[in-house]
Each structure stands twice: as C-alpha cells, then as structure tokens.
Structure 1
Amino acid sequence: MPDSVLVAYGTTNGSTARIAEAIADVLRKEGLTAEARPARSVESVTSYDAVVVGGGLYAGRWHKDARRFVRRYRRDLDERPLWLFSSGPLDPSASERDIPPVPGVKKAMDQLDAREHVTFGGCLEEGAKGWVARMILRSGKGGDFRDFTAIEAWVARIGSELAGATFERS
C-alpha cells in the first residue's frame, strides 16, 4: 500500500493553498503520510508514492507554478498515481455541476494519465493581490465558494483508492 502523498499547489492569494492543506489533512485521517507544499518549492517527487497537484484558475489557465510543476516532473509523475484539481469559479457552479478541466489541464491529464481531475469553487476576498483581483472585488463578484465537504469527499475516495493499491515505484 502506498503511504506517502505529496499535495503540490500553485496559488496567488492562498485559496488553493487552503484546499491543498485540507486535502493533506483528509489523507492523514485516512492513515497516509501527506504533505501539502507550494509547487515551486518542491525539489523532487521521487520520495512520494502518489501525487495530487492543484492550481488556481486565472483567465482560463492553471496557475503557472502548477503548470511548471507538471512539466518539470512529468517523467516521475507518470510513474505514480496522480490526481489533479483546479480552484477558481467565483460562483456556486462548481458545487452544482462538474466543470471540465481547462485545455492546459486536460492536456496534462492525458499526457500523465492522471486518475481524475475536479474543479472546486474559488475564493477571492478583500486584500487579494493583483489588479484583476481588485477589479473583480470592486465589481462585487468576490467571495468564498470553496465547498470543503465536496473536497473531503473527493479526497476520501483518493484515500480509499490508495489504501487498496499495490504498485512498485521505479
């Protein structure tokens, strides 16, 4: 049974980081060793049995740190179970229906044979960095649309899948 999971993420204002921490917390409750880390700070994935990668969505693209992470470690990621998530819609749509991955994430899924991708609602609150973020907040479209119950349910499925898995790491 695999027992060590990396949850790597790309975030600008911390919303995706909070989702990644929640994912790691649930995996630990499932009996796994899990670590949430900013994607840009990861130096290797070889010590992990499985990986979850997430990124905030900005103008239809995954956060640059998440994109760079999957490119940098593509060979190692191809050798272990991989799940992807996005965070971003600033409305309840992610809780109401499945939102397909944006094209760049879909390409990564296909190239790396990722097990699954899910899009969670985003969070944009006062004090957010960036001109676009401030404009969105000024227009009244900010808020917290993260559904931690849905996040926990998704991660519990990952934990169950990993608990039943046996595989060799090269």
Structure 2
Amino acid sequence: MTAVLVAHAGKTGGTREIAEVVSQELRALGHTVDTRDAADVADVSEYSAVVVGSALYYSRWRPSAVRLLQRNVAALRERQVWLFHSGPCGPGASLAHVSLPASVALLAASVDAERTTTFGGRLDPTLVRGILPRLMARGPRAGDFRDWPRIRTWARDVGHHVSADVSL
C-alpha cells in the first residue's frame, strides 16, 4: 500500500471534485490517499507519490498549487508526481490539451513530473465573480465539461503506476 497525496487548488470547487474522484479511484486500487487543498499542504515528505491539480484561470495555475510545488521541489524530486489542470469549457473542452504555464512547466520539469493532463472544467454562472467571468458564463462556455469516465481512467492509470519503491 502506498501513501498518496492528491492536492487541489481552485475557486469554486470543480477541481476539488475532480481530486476527490481521483482519490476514490486510487483508494479502490489499495492506496492510502489524503485529499487536501494545496493551500493546506506545507510538506509532502510523508507521501510516496503526489498528484497536484489546479484550476486554470486565464491560462494560469492557482497560486496555492504553484507554492506547493515551489516549497517542495527537493522532496518531489524523490517521489512520483502527476499533475492535472482543469478549466477549458465549451464544446470540445474534454478533448483540449492546454500547456502548462511557463513557471509551472519549469517546476514540473525540475521534479520530473509525468506529462500534465488537461480536464474540461465547470463554469457555473451562479458561482463566478467578476464581470468577464460572468459574461463568459452566459455563453456556450457555461456548463459542466468534466469528462468523468476519462478522469476515472486517468486516475486508475496513475494508481497502477504508483510504486512503493520510492525511497522516503
């Protein structure tokens, strides 16, 4: 059994819900999993593997997810790391691949993270704040574009690759 951290960062709960599903799938494969808000993670040393997910806002990761990676670079280099982000909305969102922001791409490379996966997001007009997000939430980008079967398949793939061989 392997201890896995699934950390998430978002504004309206959509990325947290993805992290919870990822955690369920990992537990179903026999892993011990903690699901935590990235802002609440100071240290990853008790985990053999780490999954970090962030919502994308204007092509940027949430600051708390970036800080988690920055604070733990040395420890993450010794662990298996998977990254995902969610956020594309609208037709075709579940098939979109969004590149990591440059600063996060550098961090991902420095910890030898697996290729980042992009999941469609959720844009709920009742949860957004600000003029631009509200305008976007009224158009074809409004709705829930998360592909739950794809998320579960990705999580199971991660779970099959998590190894107890990581030295702590």
* TM-score relative to the length of structure 2: 0.91
Greater Cα shift, 60-69 or 91-100: 91-100
Post-superposition shift, 1:64?
A: 1.2
Task: Spell out, residue by residue over 1:64-112, the C-alpha distance to the aligned partner (whole angstroms, 9 max, x if none).
Answer: 1111111111111111100000001012434335443333332221111
Q: Which residue of 1 aligns with 2:148?
A: 148
Query: 1:43 and 2:13 equivalent?
Result: no
Which residue of 2 is the match for residue 3 of structure 1?
2
Q: How far apart are the structure 2 equivalents of 1:92 and 1:35?
A: 33
Residue 82 of structure 1 pairs with residue 81 of structure 2: yes
Where do 1:17-36 residues align within 5 Å?
17-36=16-35
Separation of aligned partners in 2, 1:134 and 1:58: 13
- The Cα shift of 1:159 comes to 0.8
Assess, with a 3 A threshold, how the Cα gap between structure 1 residues 6 and 134 changes in structure 2: closer, same or farther.
Answer: same
> Unpaired runs of 5+ in structure 2?
none
Q: Decide whether aligned partners of structure 1 residues 140 and 91 sit closer, same or farther in structure 2, where only a CA change above 3 A counts.
A: closer
In structure 1, the gaps of 5 or more residues are none
Detail structure 1 runs of 4+ shifted over 4 Å in the superposition: none
C-alpha separation in 1, matches of 2:27 and 2:11? 25
- What is the TM-score of this pair, normalised by structure 1? 0.90
> What CA distance in whole angstroms lies between the structure 2 residues aligned with 1:97 and 1:135?
22
